[in-house]
Structure formats: C-alpha cells, structure tokens
Structure 1
Amino acid sequence: MTDSARYGDYTPAAAGTPFEPRPGQVPVGGDGDAGDAGGAGGGPETGIDPIALTDDDLLREMGSLHRTRLDTLRHGTDAALANHLHRTADLETEYLTRNPGREVDPARLREGR
C-alpha cells in the first residue's frame, strides 16, 4: 500500500475534527457520489458540502459511500481511494455533529463497555 492511499492528510485520531477543504475541492451538484470524474471546474467531483445536506440526504450519501467502499478499496486508484476516505470522513463528521447524543444499541456493545 502506498503512503498516499494509507490515510493522506486524515488520521483516525482526527475523526470528529472537520477537514479543511482539499486543494482543488469544488462542491458540485449531481448525485454527489464521491470519486466520479468531471464536475464543475474539470476537477474531481467531491459532492455537496455535508453542511448543506438535509438529514435524509446526508444518510443517503453515507449509504452510497458505504455500498461502494470495498470496490473502491480493491479496484480504485490511490486518488479515488483518498477521495472516498475524505468524503466518508466529511459526511460522518457532519452526522456526528448533528447527532452527538445518538442512540446506542446496547446489543452492539461489548461486555464491560
């Protein structure tokens, strides 16, 4: 695995800290599926700013990214994987910001936690 694909500027310890916009990041419309080519300004499509999404749209975007994660990991370029990682972190950070007291299912807890 190359260093560029490992985490880029993201580290798991930084989860919960919003990212600064990446160089050349241009929020665009469309389906918002991260990793698509094209979009405004000819750069990679990064999707709509998570802050601007409704709650339903935010959940839909996260679901789309989670469905495409394994394929991107196994077959995407380093750039596509990095974009996928950043977009996922951006969306999940926004979700956690909106839902700080989200319900935790006791069945998902390990014993003693």
Structure 2
Amino acid sequence: MTGVDPSRLDDQQLMKELETIHRTRHDTLLYGSNDALRTHNERMAQLEGEYLRRNPRRLVSAARTREGARERGCAEAVTPDTSGT
C-alpha cells in the first residue's frame, strides 16, 4: 500500500488526503504511466472507502441522484434560450 493506512488517519487528515488525490486525478489520468494510474486508483479507492465507512449517513444532494439528474435534464430541455442570440 502507498501512504498511511486510511483507517489510521484522523478525519481532518483523511479529508486532506481526499482533496489532494482528487486534485491530482486528471493529470494522473492524462500523463501518468499505467503503474501510476493503477496506484492512484487503488489509493483513491482506499481513501474513498474509508470516508464512506466513517460517514454512512452523509448528506446526499437530491441533484446528485439519478432522479435529480433526470429532472435537471428535462428542465434544461424545456428552458428557452434567453441568451439573446
């Protein structure tokens, strides 16, 4: 495993690790070697898994569900273009 075992991190450290790995994700995908991407994937899964384990009842935005996305898609389809072009 790369890095500290996520279960040994306090909540603040875990959030910092998650913020860092999400910030570096795009560059790793575009420019990292296959090994770097695999390591990144594994570490991200470990950190996210630990976050979800600690926060099973986390607040979920209705807009971030499938139903919310469908509603958003329907609203975008019927909203007239008001850009003035």
Q: Same fold (TM over 0.5)?
A: yes
Unaligned runs of 5+ in 2: 70-85
Structure 1 partner of 2:57: 101
In the superposition, the TM-score normalised over structure 2's length comes to 0.74
Match of 1:79 in 2: 35
Q: What secondary structure, in the 3-state scheme, does the structure 2 residue paired with 1:111 have?
A: helix
Identity percentage of aligned residues? 52
TM-score by length of 1: 0.57
**2:52 is the counterpart of 1:92:** no
Query: Counterpart amino acid of 2:47?
Result: L
Alignment correspondent of 1:15: none
Give the aligned residue type for 2:6: P
* Larger radius of gyration between Structure 1 and Structure 2: 2
* Count of residues paired in the alignment: 69
The structure whose residues are more often helix, as a share, is 2
The answer as to 2:7 corresponding to 1:56 is no
Q: CA RMSD in A?
A: 1.6
Displacement of 1:108: 2.4
